[in-house]
Amino acid sequence: MDVDRPLPSPITPEAKPFWDGCRALKLMLPRCEECGHVFFYPRILCPRCHSRRVGWMQASGRGTLHSFEIAHQAFQKAWKIKPPYVLAMVQLEEGPRMMSNLINVEPSPKAIKCDMPVEVVFTKVSDDVTLPLFQPRR
């Protein structure tokens, strides 16, 4: 299939369960087995209690739009999607924040507000990669 955006690269070994999860349409997050802290991005040590006992949990896919930009140009050479498009920072229900895109919405500050409820939409972008994008919660 035609790829219209940069693909995640390089995929690090500690993040592979996240990307495997996306392919299976599951939003997987690292969780500390010592203190219960759920965090993102994946790393081998809990950034709160510094324990090395890190496991995984499946997230609900629900969250809020913590912040956003409405881009009128590409910031990456490999980005082929026509502007305007929405750069999104999502606050997940489980605690951590992640970058994504907000889709299925009018790209205007009139329609997009910080803290609006959003939900994940898994979007296949290449034969091997599925990305967790977000849309206004229905």
Which residues bind to other proteins, rule: CB under 8 A? 5-12, 15, 40-41, 66-76, 79, 81, 85, 87-89, 96-101, 109, 113-115, 125, 129, 131, 133
Nearer to other proteins, 27 or 88 (CB): 88
Q: How many CB atoms lie within 10 A of CB 90?
A: 26
* DSSP 8-state code for residue 37: -
Question: Is 42:28 a contact under the CB 8 Å cutoff?
Answer: no
Closest CB 89 distance from other proteins, rounded Å: 5
Q: Nearest approach, Cβ of 5 to other proteins (angstroms)?
A: 6
CB of 112 to other proteins, least distance (A): 9
In the complex, minimum distance from the CB of residue 82 to other proteins, in angstroms, rounded to a whole number: 12
CA 14 distance to own-chain centroid: 16
Residues 6+ apart with CB under 8 A from 10: none
Cβ closest to other proteins, residue 11 vs residue 137: 11
- Would you say 2 or 76 has its CB closer to other proteins? 76
User: Roughly how many angstroms between the first and final C-alpha of the chain, as a whole number?
Assistant: 29
26 versus 87: smaller Cβ distance to other proteins: 87
Q: What are the structure tokens assigned to 60, written together?
A: 């609900």
CA–CA gap between residue 53 and residue 129 (Å, rounded): 28
